Amino acid sequence: MDAFTHRDGRLYAEDVPLARIAEQVGTPVFVYSATSIEAQYDALASALADMKVGICYALKANSNQAVIATLAARGAGADVVSEGELRRALAAGVHPSKIVFAGVGKTAEEMAFALKAGIHQFNLESGPELELLNEVAGRLGLVAPVAIRVNPDVDAKTHAKITTGKKENKFGIEIEQAKSVYARAAALPHIDPVGVAMHIGSQLTDLAPYRAAYRRMADLVKALRAEGHDIRRVDLGGGIGIDYRGDHTVDLAGYAAIVREEIAPLGAEMICEPGRLLVGNAGVLLTSVIYVKQGTAKRFVIVDAAMNDLIRPTLYEAHHDIVMERAGAPESPHPADIVGPICESGDYLAKDRVLPELAPGDLLAVKSAGAYGAVMGSSYNTRLLAPEVLVRGGDFAVVRPRPSYETLIGQDRLPDWLSPTQP
Ligand code: LLP
């Protein structure tokens, strides 16, 4: 479902006019639709319903606690990659028995925190990490449930910066080394090797790489079982792509069929870790036009959102549709770059975009901003992080307010040898 549609010439988030949110909360602001998040979760859950697959939402896509809690209420667990995310998942009400902890650089402190919390599983990415986890668990008198993340060396055919399943990527243990690492895991007293995990990349719109990777994983599971290991769990990773342009919907039934054919016959408990799929199209970044500047070669629409709010266009050359809040304005004959106020040429949200004629004060919605938007925000140029709003039906709530300048600037400390200069 698209929760952001025009009605009587104005853009709504569910039943709330975006203009009302802009008026009450200000811009730039991220606006999420709870109903859309739930619909995406339900669509995935029903595609997988005939199999034993737990859905652990990858918090990295959007870790606002209101978003996590919306999904947790639906039955989702969490995939976390830091103590911070783990704390957020717990605070939002995700039961520890539904949390998996991934990432290549877990520290001893993070491991101890997760062990004490009693999480479901650690996804381990290297031999040294295995040794450290054994040591930390030993110190605490605990046993750590572990899945070995394997790098299946499959090209996910996505953007290079979000590909993870090739040998040249830092992630996972090479499939050739997996058996020896698994044997070592089985020999360690404070490790319970419960299974294997993989994740080949993000924003996958072609399902073929999943089939190739899952087939390799299934072969590995069989080989490990033949060596006497009791492989009870397979973590399928995340990465299912979304439609950023309104021209391609990812076929969840097709994805489920691949799981059913390649992994389900192993009879193991399965986990999948979707992030973007659940929240990406459930959010927009609402921004106001500050100026329209016509050069001889280009037209620039300068808006109050910038690369610090949404870094995807400049970091990944990502496309985000942009729509005007008011419908029906005549289209401008001049394509424009939609740019922010930050002092960098890379500060743009879109290039050469054909939009209606715009004037200062007009509102624009940058679509598909629910995933990897606010979470990748920064306060570069001492800009305030954009607030976040969650809509449900005709109601909305500010789920992260805009910070004050006092809070932002007040975090700095002057050393003794400097005293504040008087204005
Ligand atoms: N599991 C693991 C181990 C991951 O590394 C990731 C994403 C996910 C699950 C969730 O992937 P998803 O379902 O959201 O594709 N900032 C980039 C995306 C980076 C993804 C990193 N890992 C972007 O804006 O496109």
Looking at residue 298, which CATH number applies to its domain? 2.40.37.10
Instruction: Give residue 340's Cα distance to chain centre.
Output: 23
Same-domain pairing of 355 and 334? yes
Q: Give the range of the structural domain holding residue 99, as residue numbers without chain letter.
A: 34-276
For Cα atoms 53, 55, 60, give the angle at the middle one, nearest 5 degrees.
145
Look at residues 250, 276, 302 and tell me which one is the last residue of a structural domain.
Answer: 276
Same-domain pairing of 373 and 395? yes
- Please list the pLDDT of the chain residue by residue as tens digits (423 residues): 899 999 999 999 999 999 999 999 999 999 999 999 999 999 999 999 999 899 999 999 999 999 999 999 999 999 999 999 999 999 999 999 999 999 999 999 999 999 999 999 999 999 999 999 999 999 999 999 999 999 988 887 777 777 777 777 788 898 889 999 999 999 999 999 999 999 999 999 999 999 999 999 999 999 999 999 999 999 999 999 999 997 667 899 999 999 999 999 999 999 999 999 999 999 999 999 999 999 888 899 999 999 999 999 999 999 999 999 999 888 888 899 999 999 999 999 999 999 999 999 999 999 999 999 999 999 999 999 999 999 999 999 999 999 999 999 999 999 988 976 666
What are the φ and ψ backbone dihedral angles of 149, each rounded to 5 degrees?
-80, 120
Residues 6+ apart with CB under 8 A from 29: 21, 22, 285, 286, 386, 387, 388, 389, 402
Residue from 202, 314, 378 to probe ligand 1 pocket by mutation (most atoms less than 8 Å from CB): 202
Q: Is residue 306 part of a domain?
A: yes
Tally of domains within the chain: 2
Q: Is residue 203 part of a domain?
A: yes
Q: Is 139 annotated as a binding residue?
A: no
Same-domain pairing of 152 and 186? yes
Q: Is 275 annotated as a binding residue?
A: yes
What confidence score (pLDDT) does residue 208 get?
95
Tell me which H or E stretch contains 416: none
Q: Tell how far the Cα of 101 is from the centroid of ligand 1, in angstroms.
A: 14
Strand pairing category for 233-235 and 191-197? parallel
Q: Is residue 419 part of a domain?
A: no
Q: Give pTM, 2 decimals.
A: 0.96
Q: Are 224 and 196 in contact (CB under 8 A)?
A: yes
Same-domain pairing of 171 and 291? no
ipTM value for the complex: 0.99
Same-domain pairing of 26 and 111? no
Same-domain pairing of 397 and 369? yes
Q: Tell how far the Cα of 302 is from the centroid of ligand 1, in angstroms.
A: 30
Same-domain pairing of 383 and 265? no
- State the first-to-last Cα distance of the chain, in angstroms, to the nearest integer: 53
Residue 187 to residue 205: CA distance in whole angstroms: 40
Looking at residue 98, which CATH number applies to its domain? 3.20.20.10
Same-domain pairing of 366 and 323? yes
Q: Is residue 229 part of a domain?
A: yes
Instruction: Give residue 233's Cα distance to chain centre.
Output: 23
Residue 237 beta carbon below 6 angstroms from any ligand 1 atom: yes
Q: Is residue 52 part of a domain?
A: yes
